[in-house]
Amino acid sequence: MSSPVLRICLTAALLFPGAAVLAQNPSEEEELTLVYGDNDSISIATGNVQSLRRAPAVATVITAADIAAMGATDLDQVLEGVPGVHVNRSANNYAPLYVVRGIFSQFTPQLLMLQNGVPITTVFVGNKGNLWGGYPVEHIARIEIIRGPGSALYGSDAFSGVINIITKNAADTPGTEFGLRAGSFNTKDAWVQHGGQWGDIDVAAYLRVGRSDGMDPVIEADAASRNDRLFGTRVSRAPGAVNTGRDAVDANLDLSRGKLRARFGYKLRDKLGTGAGIASALDPVGQQKSERITSNISWTDAQFAPDWGVGAAVSTQQYKQTITTDFQLLPPGTVLPTGAFPNGMIGGPDYGERNVRLAAYADYSGFARHQIRIGAGYEDLDLYRARETRNFRYAPNGAPIPLPSVVDVSDSDPFIRPHRRKIKYVFVQDEWRMAKDWTLTAGVRHDRYSDFGTTTNPRLALVWDATYNMTAKLLYGRAFRAPSFSESYGITNPVALGNPGLRPEKNGTLEAVFAWQAANDAQVNLSLYRYSMQDIIRTVPNAIAGTGATYSNTGSQKGSGAELETIWHLNRAWRLSGNYAFQRSIDKLTGRDAGYVPRHHLYGRADWQFISGYLLSTQLNWVAGRRRAAGDLRPAIDDYKTVDLSLSTQRGRQQWNFSASVRNLFNTDAREPSLAPGLAIPNDLPMAPRAFSIQASYRM
């Protein structure tokens, strides 16, 4: 890490809030808690609720009140403001890619996403699902984010970080609330949520229905444009708008009685557009549907016996991806060296998954100064269905050869066949209060996979309360990412053949953290880190020329960075917050920047309660220093700055609440990088132009 950057971070940490800020009186503190929520505790760092400042991790907590204050309507908008996190985009469906500390790949499976502590990973790609279609925020109680490895507690995919979305319970949403929202791109949403009791059962329920035509920035040239130049045709739809429309239904039900709790979730995305095209060629015809059904039944008893607390849970996820209207991978009239596609190159891959997870743990506090947690679990991940239709077959080198019509190849030549993975794991963790101001957390988890074997991942975290207002942490952890089913078992496309012999990706990270309570109303955090990745899964050309490529453990990468964040409550009316992240990730094979992600990311926010009950929030997002990956000869992608404004009433004070926001106020031409070498979409992926939103809610 460059010393100038470190000096800048330390200087800013010392000077920004100042040590002479006056403390608020109790009424002001209550006011701030009402507006921004209580974000001083976290549970995903160890599994137990503890102070955020003393948690053995680099973590951020965002509350429902904070989400409302910033005027966010989708999870993407919330995560972009987290230090060290940037939301990239995939050309495929324009799906968001949550990139933490510069660890990027085509589908970004290196980040683990949880909902109420349960993974929502899809095993086919290894991420949250490519047909994501957004995540609404009305029913989110809080979001807990860990930056850095978490495999010692959470296993696979807790590689660059962990995001846990905690939905509202009965206490979080008392009574019944109705809401409506309308905005740019013909976006309309309606929701209702309720919290209360049915007899002795606490109930929280949520239903949201919405639709949108989606953002529509223009792609100037696509993969079909390149084919036009090569083969003398004129069939590309570029320049043309991306296709990001969707219909959406979200539902959650939370039932709890004593030590027992049951949660159920439903997420439907229908009529989903293909973004910039599944094959990076604009496709206004193809449509998709994803359906996710989740359940989680848990039992916990914190006082099971003297010094003992126990818990157990069973969770399920059913996920289906259906192509309701076949993709036009390339437009009608396409001509390739292998033949012509008068109706376009057409394909429609579907699949379905059923995942079952069992977990149990026990906490023991009978040893002086020790809090020990042991746990075990079993997971059954089943890709039970794969179906495919297309009007082409593949040549040995991966080139598509036209067929006379669209045929069902599900039995003869599918993109993947059903597969099943079973996982058993055990873990142990000890939080040892070594002395009054010192705590050492040590843990290790051992996973056994039915398809590739075992992996063991430890963690160590030393937390020191150096002074009454300064806490220092030294952290080390190892993490792994299991190969996705597409990487291990893909069988049709020679361009990216699966390899059942793949090993998991590995990552080791060392971190130093300083948390300074500069004043009663000012907090500054500085995080420094260094990581090293091995066995990165990438495609490698086959030994016989002209026969395509196969996934292999061939990559390695190292990185380092710094994250500075601060929150300053100037007074009852003003709150300033922001963060700056610097990172540098190097591909060890080429010695060059790994590309795609910003070296510099600055986020700032100013909240002003200019009238009692009204809040104006201004947000600045600066993304800079994105290099091209090896083999990409395009000029560096431009930096960009966007400004967002939100005006809202103060939630919790009245029955009616209103919010209005404008995103990208100055209509900046913000772009995220397309994949190297950039031949398919040379001008990168344009983001949403200026967009407006207005909403109203009524609580009974």
Tokens of 697: 């809610």
What does the mean pLDDT of the chain come to? 93
Has residue 612 got a pLDDT over 90? no
Separation in Å, CA 180 to CA 6, 176, 208, 233, 260: 46, 14, 10, 47, 33
What is residue 8's predicted lDDT score, i.e. its pLDDT?
40
Separation in Å, CA 486 to CA 407, 416, 435, 492, 496: 22, 7, 49, 10, 9
- Per the CB < 8 A criterion, the answer to whether 210 and 60 are in contact is no
**What residues are paired with 544 via a beta bridge?**
none
CATH class of 3-699: mainly beta
What's the pLDDT band for 397 if we cut at 50, 70, 90? confident
What residues have CB less than 8 Å from 692, skipping those under 6 apart? 183, 184, 660, 661, 662, 663
Instruction: Encode pLDDT of 457-478 as tens digits.
Output: 999 999 999 999 999 999 999 9
* CA–CA gap between residue 127 and residue 499 (Å, rounded): 18
Has residue 14 got a pLDDT over 60? no
Tell me which DSSP letter residue 495 carries.
G
What is residue 536's predicted lDDT score, i.e. its pLDDT?
97
pLDDT, mean of residues 481-498: 92
pLDDT, mean of residues 82-101: 97
Closest CA to 444 of 431, 432, 455, 456: 456
Closest CA to 425 of 500, 356, 360, 504: 360
φ and ψ of 7, to 5 deg:
-65, -40
Instruction: Encode pLDDT of 430-455 as tens digits.
Output: 999 999 999 999 999 999 999 999 99
* CA–CA gap between residue 119 and residue 155 (Å, rounded): 10
Closest CA to 383 of 348, 432, 418: 418
Has residue 9 got a pLDDT over 60? no
Has residue 79 got a pLDDT over 90? yes
pLDDT, mean of residues 486-509: 93
Tokens of 540: 């490698």
What residues have CB less than 8 Å from 305, skipping those under 6 apart? none
Comparing 8-22, 50-64, 205-219, the range with the smallest average pLDDT is: 8-22
Has residue 12 got a pLDDT over 50? no
Burial class (CB in 10 A: 0-12, 13-18, 19+), 522: buried
Separation in Å, CA 215 to CA 207, 268, 290, 329: 24, 19, 19, 21
Has residue 329 got a pLDDT over 90? yes
pLDDT, mean of residues 57-77: 95
What residues have CB less than 8 Å from 15, skipping those under 6 apart? none
Q: Do the bridges between strand 400-408 and strand 370-394 make them parallel or antiparallel, or are there none, so unpaired?
A: antiparallel
In this prediction the pTM is 0.93
Has residue 45 got a pLDDT over 70? yes
pLDDT, mean of residues 583-610: 96
What is residue 33's predicted lDDT score, i.e. its pLDDT?
47
pLDDT, mean of residues 101-129: 96
In the chain, where are the structural domains located?
3-699
Has residue 1 got a pLDDT over 90? no
Residue 79 in 3-state DSSP?
helix
Tokens of 492: 């049709």
- Per the CB < 8 A criterion, the answer to whether 580 and 563 are in contact is yes
Q: Which amino acid is present at 290? A: S
pLDDT, mean of residues 132-160: 96
What is residue 503's predicted lDDT score, i.e. its pLDDT?
97
Tell me which DSSP letter residue 47 carries.
S
Residue 351 in 3-state DSSP?
strand
Q: Kindly state the percentage of the chain with pLDDT values over 70.
A: 94
* CA–CA gap between residue 626 and residue 620 (Å, rounded): 18
What is residue 36's predicted lDDT score, i.e. its pLDDT?
52
State the maximum Cα–Cα separation within the chain, in Å, rounded to a whole number. Answer: 80
Has residue 595 got a pLDDT over 60? yes
How far does CA 67 lie from the centroid of its chain?
16
Q: ω into residue 4 within 30 of 0, thus cis?
A: no
Q: Which amino acid is present at 162? A: V
Instruction: Encode pLDDT of 650-669 as tens digits.
Output: 765 568 999 999 999 999 99
What's the pLDDT band for 258 if we cut at 50, 70, 90? very high
**What residues are paired with 265 via a beta bridge?**
252, 294
* CA–CA gap between residue 436 and residue 298 (Å, rounded): 35
What's the pLDDT band for 15 if we cut at 50, 70, 90? very low
What is residue 461's predicted lDDT score, i.e. its pLDDT?
98
Q: Kindly state the percentage of the chain with pLDDT values over 90.
A: 87
Tokens of 479: 């993490």
What is residue 6's predicted lDDT score, i.e. its pLDDT?
40
Burial class (CB in 10 A: 0-12, 13-18, 19+), 149: buried
Residue 27 in 3-state DSSP?
helix
Has residue 199 got a pLDDT over 90? yes
Closest CA to 71 of 686, 659, 699: 659
Has residue 21 got a pLDDT over 70? no
* Tokens 């132009």 found at: 689
